[in-house]
Amino acid sequence: MTDAIRVETSDYIRTIRFNRPDKKNAITRPMYTAMAEALEDANANREVRVVVLAGSEGVFTAGNDLVDFIEAPPHIGGGDMPPVERFMRALMDCEKPVIAAVDGLAIGIGTTLLLHCDLAYASDRAVFKTPFVDLALAPEFGSSQILPGLVGRAVAGELLLLGESWDAAKAMSRHLVADVFPAGRLEEEVTHRARTLAAKAPGAVRAAKALMTRPGEPLVERIVREGGIFADLLRSEEFKEAVTAFMERRKPDFSKFG
């Protein structure tokens, strides 16, 4: 495990934090490996219900460490899985909700990874940029498909072709992040939302995420799929607890469920 990634778990929340502020949290291969391991463990760990990705004060991440990147250029899908691909696959495969807290710079993969998080929040000093074409490279990890689908092709071109920077307000207006907070309040707001999610029925949360991240399908097929899951959940112990709590006029206690 590298000291450049800090991993903490408390109250069912796993926080994975970039911790290389002297290099603007530029990500090395050992850092990708550490984050992948933390995500893989979170996915299998009953004591983790929510994952938070965060940086250090004033900087989320400046993206790939260029020296590290040049020493071992990753070939995604080209054989042995490079650490960056292992991390991104672990992020995409995580069955539990992942929240990003972006304070300051989110460059390259620092923006790309947001497209694979379930919730993303930014500080008012956040800056988003994907300088792939500027570096004579191409977009990565599905961003050429997801971003145009999210904001439209012409708007996505500002990031993926022109390499423009978006401030926090523009990122929120274009649905890259859900909300923007003053820098001093960002982590407090994210922690509040993470705790709210962690207190909910974990099986129901996983089911909702699985449906939301499932590839598109005809609407009738999706309705049938939702109906089957809904029917299964109606028979679950989580649902019994939710109904009992409602009848007893108390908050449901889902702490005994995994």
What CATH number has the domain bearing residue 121?
3.90.226.10
Considering the domain architecture, whether residues 137 and 12 belong to the same structural domain is answered as: yes
Considering the domain architecture, whether residues 192 and 212 belong to the same structural domain is answered as: no
Residue 72's pLDDT is what?
81
Q: Does 253 map to a domain?
A: no
Considering the domain architecture, whether residues 217 and 235 belong to the same structural domain is answered as: yes
Distance CA 52, CA 190 (A): 8
Q: DSSP of the chain, one letter per residue?
A: --TTEEEEEETTEEEEEE--GGGTTPBPHHHHHHHHHHHHHHHH-TT--EEEEE-BTTEEE--B-HHHHHHS---TTSSSPPHHHHHHHHHHH--S-EEEEE-SEEETHHHHGGGGSSEEEEETT-EEE--TGGGT----TTHHHHHHHHH-HHHHHHHHTS---EEHHHHHHTTSSSEEE-GGGHHHHHHHHHHHHHTS-HHHHHHHHHHHHSPP--HHHHHHHHHHHHHHHHTSHHHHHHHHHHHTTS----TT--
Considering the domain architecture, whether residues 40 and 88 belong to the same structural domain is answered as: yes
pTM: 0.95
Q: Does 95 map to a domain?
A: yes
Considering the domain architecture, whether residues 87 and 55 belong to the same structural domain is answered as: yes
Of 176, 198, 220, the residue at which a domain comes to its end is 198
Check pLDDT > 80 for residue 78.
no
- First-to-last CA distance in the chain? 27
Q: Mean pLDDT, to the nearest integer, of 146-164? A: 96
Considering the domain architecture, whether residues 194 and 215 belong to the same structural domain is answered as: no
Which residues span the domain enclosing 241? Answer: 202-247
**In contact, 89 and 107? CB cutoff 8 Å:** no
Q: Mean pLDDT, to the nearest integer, of 118-138? A: 96
> For residue 1, what pLDDT band results from cuts at 50, 70 and 90?
low
For the stretch 205-238, pLDDT in tens is 999 999 999 999 999 999 999 999 999 999 999 9
Q: Does 221 map to a domain?
A: yes
Considering the domain architecture, whether residues 117 and 213 belong to the same structural domain is answered as: no
Count the domains in the chain: 2
Considering the domain architecture, whether residues 223 and 184 belong to the same structural domain is answered as: no
Q: Does 181 map to a domain?
A: yes
Considering the domain architecture, whether residues 183 and 80 belong to the same structural domain is answered as: yes
Residue 68's pLDDT is what?
87
Alpha carbon 151 to its chain's center: 18
Mean of pLDDT over the chain = 95
Q: Mean pLDDT, to the nearest integer, of 5-34? A: 97
Considering the domain architecture, whether residues 206 and 87 belong to the same structural domain is answered as: no
Q: Does 17 map to a domain?
A: yes
Residue 80's pLDDT is what?
84
Considering the domain architecture, whether residues 164 and 209 belong to the same structural domain is answered as: no
Considering the domain architecture, whether residues 162 and 234 belong to the same structural domain is answered as: no
Q: Does 256 map to a domain?
A: no
